[in-house]
Structure 1
Amino acid sequence: MSLLSPTSLGHNKFKYSEVRKLKKLSDLRGVGTATAERLEESGFSTLESIATSTPPELAGAVEIGEGKAAKMIRQAQENVEGMGYELGTEVLERRKEVDYISTGSERLDEMLNGGVETQGITEFYGEFRTGKTQLSHQLSVNAQLLKGKENPPHVVYIDTEHTFRPERIEKMAKAVDMDSEEMLERIHVARGSTTDHQMLLVEKVPEINEENEVKLLIVDGLMSNFRTEYVGRGALAERQQKLGKHLSDLHDLAERYNLAVVVTNHVQSDPNSFFGDPTKPIGGHVLGHAATVRVYLKKGKQNKRKARLIDHPQLPPDNIEFKITEDGVRD
């Protein structure tokens, strides 16, 4: 008789629904109070954060072997919702909840299939003065025009380059006949001074969302701290691994809370490019594959800007022009 036959199992026949789901760090096998405290101090405060980490990363944080770390990660993954299979119909139902935040330009909205969408990461990249921060400010205003569950949605703005200007929000708010002070009250601004601080600020977004529905998370200058701290080819692998974790956290927030993540990025010249535009966004393939939508911004004549849709899961490449005016982003 097979050891796994129904007869041998008798009344103790295994049922998946009867398995006790783990809820906190100390529920993991081999994790005592001291280890749980070290995990939280290192930024691994939830099962989700452990489930999306790597064995070397987790092992280094709490000074355990990579084998034990791998088992801990596997346990967490088995107890976190959304890390297994789901039906295509379930994905379709979730996609029906996607919201679109207007950029202020009808042409740009049309190119983006209705605006910047929730449940994904949209990257705007380009040289300085191409409109990246202007778009970030405009989206911070327009996100609050969406219908929230109870009150107008809130915005989280992580500023790594000290470019957030409340005065600009005031002008943009008045241009759409909204109370500027109330709008500023719904924007949570933080200065991301290091990569660790930047990642910590992202981890605190769920706390803000518990009290106020967050519909937009902006990281203005995604790669600035990474470029400063990781210099040279020797540090590239470590930088990209850390960037990958950061982007994974951003994706998780976008999908879990149905919010839009917008990141701005700089460009660099590609010396190996002999044809076409030699500029490319920094961040390499890690960022290239992580961004749901990528838009390349260029300067035009006077106050005009050019936007080129580089990558979109549903749309072909496209080009449009928009303006940066006193009132904000317009056609």
Structure 2
Amino acid sequence: MAEVLLEELDHVGPATAQKLMDAGFTTVEAIAVSSPAELATAADIGESTAAKIILAARQSADIGGFETGDVVMERRKLVGKLSTGCVEFNEMMGGGIDTQAITEMYGEFGSGKTQVAHQLAVNVQLPKEQGGLDGSVIIIDTENTFRPERIKQMVEGLSEKYGQEYDYEEFLKHIHVARAFNSNHQILLVDSAMELANELKNSDKPVRLIIVDSLTAHFRAEYIGRGTLADRQQKLNKHLHGLQRFGDLFNACVVVTNQVMAKPDAFFGDPTKPIGGHIVGHTATFRLYLRKSKGDKRIVRLVDSPNLPDAEAIISVTTAGLRDP
């Protein structure tokens, strides 16, 4: 399909087009999936005009109307699967981590969330026949946990696994890391990620994975007490929808890690619960609960999925990366 310029849309003049582009709405698809209020604020126009622009963008990009199930089924074939590097884990996820979906990993400290994120950042760069997506990765690091040394170890582990020499420096060149200093900065970084993904769209390594590690750390630290809860949840909701939009526009995997809290009043069952309440629970497409086991083993439990049954997989976190136990 030929690319449509913003100026070609109804109700969009050169000045409005420039304002939209400055606000990060660089493609017709990005406008088509935004809300009138969002667009009105960004381009300094009325909400009714913004609604007309969005309608024109939806017609132009051919999205937002009703479709029959068989058409949706055909489009689902475009969804990519990113290998975790572990057979049991992949099988539990129906072949790997889905693109165009948010996969949330939660668990206590040391349960392996950041290790899985590092491994996915390496695997996404592999060719499709080796379970990768032949793309680059964006990492929004909120807890200063990204370690290039760990990437080096994992790439060296891949060289052993596949019996071919991989250059870890090449892998590091395709990992784009940004440190988020507070929750507002974290939300803004998704817009910066959109710009970067647009730049790399037609390169040999387009962005096929975005990782937020961790999603809730800043929100948890800044919004203290029940009085700020509604505000926090609203911002968290906006942030998650921005990430979902990123996944849809660039056919990328969205992986977020989440912290947990203990429920001391829970007499039965597991007292650990993920942070973020129902907002995170409803917005995440897949929820994975990671917990420690003996030695280097970790248990990964699929808690929620729209199309897969609840299941558990055991993985090993080794120096060379994630492996089957």
Shorter-chain TM-score: which interval? 0.7 to 0.9
1:191 is matched with: 179
1:138 is matched with: 119
C-alpha displacement of 1:156: 2.2
The change in CA–CA distance for 1:112 and 1:196 in structure 2 (over 3 A counts) is: closer
Partner-residue secondary structure (3-state), 2:128 = coil
Q: Distance in 2 between matches of 1:112 and 1:132?
A: 16
Q: Distance in 2 between matches of 1:236 and 1:41?
A: 32
AA matched with 1:175: G
C-alpha displacement of 1:70: 4.0
In the alignment, is the contact (CA less than 8 A) between 2:81 and 2:97 conserved in 1? yes
1:200 is matched with: 191
- Alignment deviations for residues 207-232 of structure 1 (CA, whole Å, 9 cap, x no partner): 22332223322222122333344444
In the alignment, is the contact (CA less than 8 A) between 2:187 and 2:239 conserved in 1? no
- Residue segments in structure 1 that go unaligned for 5+ positions in a row: 1-20
Q: Distance in 2 between matches of 1:55 and 1:270?
A: 40
- Residue segments in structure 2 that go unaligned for 5+ positions in a row: 160-165
Residue 297 of structure 2 is aligned to residue 311 of structure 1: no
User: Which has more radius of gyration?
Assistant: 1
C-alpha displacement of 1:191: 2.0
1:110 is matched with: 91
- Range 309-318 or range 58-67, more displaced: 58-67
- Alignment deviations for residues 257-290 of structure 1 (CA, whole Å, 9 cap, x no partner): 3322211111223577554223222223232222
Normalised by the size of structure 2, how large is the TM-score? 0.81
In the alignment, is the contact (CA less than 8 A) between 1:147 and 1:153 conserved in 2? no
Q: Distance in 2 between matches of 1:58 and 1:257?
A: 20
The change in CA–CA distance for 1:271 and 1:170 in structure 2 (over 3 A counts) is: same
Paired residues for 1:28-177 under 5 Å: 31-147=12-128, 152-177=134-159
2:162 is matched with: none
Alignment RMSD (CA, Å): 3.0
C-alpha displacement of 1:133: 0.6
1:260 to 249, 253, 266: 253
Residue 277 of structure 2 is aligned to residue 277 of structure 1: no
The change in CA–CA distance for 1:26 and 1:234 in structure 2 (over 3 A counts) is: farther
AA matched with 2:113: K
Q: Percent identity?
A: 49
The number of aligned residues is 309
Q: Distance in 1 between matches of 2:56 and 2:134?
A: 38
C-alpha displacement of 1:63: 4.8
Partner-residue secondary structure (3-state), 2:125 = helix
Normalised by the size of structure 1, how large is the TM-score? 0.80
Q: Distance in 2 between matches of 1:57 and 1:107?
A: 42
Residue 213 of structure 2 is aligned to residue 220 of structure 1: yes
1:249 is matched with: 242
C-alpha displacement of 1:235: 4.1
C-alpha displacement of 1:72: 4.2
Q: Distance in 2 between matches of 1:42 and 1:182?
A: 32
In the alignment, is the contact (CA less than 8 A) between 2:136 and 2:208 conserved in 1? yes
In the alignment, is the contact (CA less than 8 A) between 1:158 and 1:201 conserved in 2? no
The change in CA–CA distance for 1:99 and 1:27 in structure 2 (over 3 A counts) is: closer
In the alignment, is the contact (CA less than 8 A) between 1:158 and 1:192 conserved in 2? yes
